[in-house]
Amino acid sequence: MQHAFDSILTGLFGELLSRRPGLSSRTPSVLLAVSGGIDSMCMAELFKDFGPGVDFAVAHCNFSLRGEESDSDEKLVAEWAESNHVKIYRKRFDTLGYAALHGLSTEMAARELRYGWFSSLCEENGYDAVAVAHNANDNVETLFLNLLRGTGIRGLSGMKTLSVVPEPASVPESGRVPLMRPLLGFTRKQIEGYVFAHKVKYRDDRTNFETEYKRNKIRNLVFPVLEQINPSFVRTINREMSYFSQIGRIADSYYEAHCDFLRDRIIDIGLLKADPNWEYLLYRALDGYGFSSPVIYSIVDLLKSGRTVSGKIFNAQKYSAVTAGGKLLIEDRADSEVAAEGTDALSGLRRKGTLPVDFASSFRSGGETMTVHGPGFYCFNGVRFSVEVSKRDSLATLKAPSGTLYFDSGKLPFPFLCRRWEKGDWMIPLGMKGRKKVSDLFTDLKYSLKDKSRSVIIVGGDCLSEPGNGQGKRVSAVLGVRADDMTKVSETTETVVVLRIRQ
């Protein structure tokens, strides 16, 4: 394994030097990310015994997640570094506190913390690259995670042996620290064999054997089944990923030659759909603005249906895609935000002069009503919300979280309407027997005049045809607040419409 590793590392150094000519006069220096686990300890040993010799140091993160176990991991790495006369950098993180502060999962928080620290160490101490111990098994795990999350060809290509340290998008790729994965061509069984033969000390992270995290579920529950079907599935899938990578380059060329439908962040839907592979082209265009696969699929579904409603909004983190008279406009989220005084996304686009004449065709009374034709992301009266359809048995509980309402899809079928509150509106709140004016509900909730003016009323199903009889109009829900008992999910419900407020 050492001989194969030396060959791989020499090749990586050559590739690194070709990308950064300024390093050609010396051997690159590398910062090794070493956790104390079997993979990273194997990598450290291989670096130590690298034939030509290499300048390297070790960096260890203590994420303070497993108490004494985390401290024992740090101790092992420190002892290895000391016994082998290798410089070591150590840092302790409050991972849970960072995750809570930034609204991240524990996994994502740890990822941001370690890579941010590695980059700063390289900049401060002159290391040319960071090396991590990702192996062939990790590569296959990543493939499955990408498939489950929804991904394009790039997500099927797997990790690269040489890339860059993940950093915020504000940092251009050319300015990021190189990231090396010298173990990517080795399976975990090969690593285990090397560690056993060379008596390398390491520590097992007990959480790796649990199934709390998605990656661990794949590793511990799915992989054993795949191994029964094909004992060499790791190598087989890694080989296939190399083909996917080549296909990805072909797809890149196709997109570059057929992207005339996109000009100045405006997608010409007619021109787009004239291409037989328009769905992929749309995916590539929107993926570049950070739109997720489920959101892109919703847009594709809308375009396929032929009912392209002007004024429908789909959101990514930084951008919104707005349907507008045969066009799909990519707008900054800030440009589409709605002011409390009733200014909506449409008026914001009108001010910018990018709004086609027929853009507001689905709105009546100056934007007082909006039709919801199906699942997707919407914005009405300054409130952003999503519409989803789920199987009833997929819901762990019928107690909806704050800002979310559940409806029997047969009792709130598509299309339904969104409008502003009108005096006389009433409903029978879920679980109650008598009617209640929406104005009284607002009073109970201590709504201000501003809150009332920004409320969104949902009207659908039987409420659309139920006469007012001079006593006001029955409504199906107040978005994010209360649903009418008529729409409740019952034992016979098969599918559920989920309305969720989005910030």
Distance CA(148)–CA(146), nearest Å, equals: 5
- Provide the pLDDT for residue 240: 92
Domain shared by 6 and 74, yes or no: yes
Backbone φ and ψ for 169, nearest 5 degrees, come out as -60, -20
Domain shared by 44 and 153, yes or no: yes
Domain shared by 170 and 40, yes or no: yes
Domain shared by 90 and 170, yes or no: yes
Question: Residue 33 domain-assigned?
Answer: yes
Q: pLDDT tens track of the chain, all 503 residues?
A: 999 999 999 999 988 888 877 665 567 899 999 999 999 999 999 999 998 888 999 999 999 888 889 999 999 999 999 999 999 999 999 999 988 888 888 888 999 999 999 999 999 999 999 999 999 999 999 999 888 877 777 778 889 999 999 875 545 555 689 999 999 999 999 999 999 999 999 998 777 777 777 888 999 999 999 999 999 999 999 999 989 989 988 998 999 999 999 988 899 999 999 999 999 999 999 988 888 888 888 899 888 887 666 678 888 888 888 887 788 988 887 433 432 223 344 444 444 444 333 333 333 333 467 888 888 888 888 788 899 998 988 887 888 888 999 999 999 998 899 999 998 899 999 988 889 999 999 998 888 888 888 899 999 988 876 655 456 789 999 999 999 999 999 889 999 999 999 86
CATH number at residue 74: 3.40.50.620
Residue range of the domain that includes 299: 286-361
Please report, in angstroms and rounded to a whole number, the separation of the first and last CA atoms in the chain.
52
CATH number at residue 426: 3.50.40.10
* Those residues with Cβ within 8 angstroms of residue 49's Cβ, 6 or more apart along the chain or in another chain: 2
- Provide the pLDDT for residue 468: 55
Question: Residue 227 domain-assigned?
Answer: no
* 311, 346, 361 - which closes a domain: 361
Domain shared by 86 and 186, yes or no: yes
Domain shared by 156 and 24, yes or no: yes
* 311, 339, 361 - which closes a domain: 361
Question: Residue 247 domain-assigned?
Answer: no
Structure tokens belonging to residue 424: 């006389």
The residues facing 459 across adjacent strands are: 417
Domain shared by 334 and 443, yes or no: no
User: How long, in residues, is the chain?
Assistant: 503
Question: Residue 115 domain-assigned?
Answer: yes
Distance CA(107)–CA(213), nearest Å, equals: 8
Domain shared by 76 and 196, yes or no: yes
Distance CA(319)–CA(85), nearest Å, equals: 50
Domain shared by 123 and 70, yes or no: yes
Domain shared by 331 and 415, yes or no: no
Own/partner long-range contacts of 357-365 (Cβ < 8 Å, ≥24 apart) = 357/325, 358/310, 358/325, 359/310, 359/311, 359/324, 359/325, 360/310, 360/311, 361/309, 361/310, 361/311, 361/325, 362/309, 362/310, 362/311, 362/312, 363/311
The amino acid at residue 33 is A
pTM over 0.75: no
Under a CB-based contact definition with an 8 Å cutoff, are residues 407 and 485 in contact? no
* Those residues with Cβ within 8 angstroms of residue 127's Cβ, 6 or more apart along the chain or in another chain: 29, 30, 31, 57, 121, 177
Among residues 14, 3, 240, which one has the least CA distance to residue 139?
Answer: 240
* 190, 210, 230 - which closes a domain: 210
Question: Residue 317 domain-assigned?
Answer: yes
Question: Residue 434 domain-assigned?
Answer: yes
Domain shared by 13 and 120, yes or no: yes
- Provide the pLDDT for residue 363: 33
Question: Residue 232 domain-assigned?
Answer: no
Total domains present in the chain? 3
Question: Residue 503 domain-assigned?
Answer: no
Domain shared by 351 and 432, yes or no: no
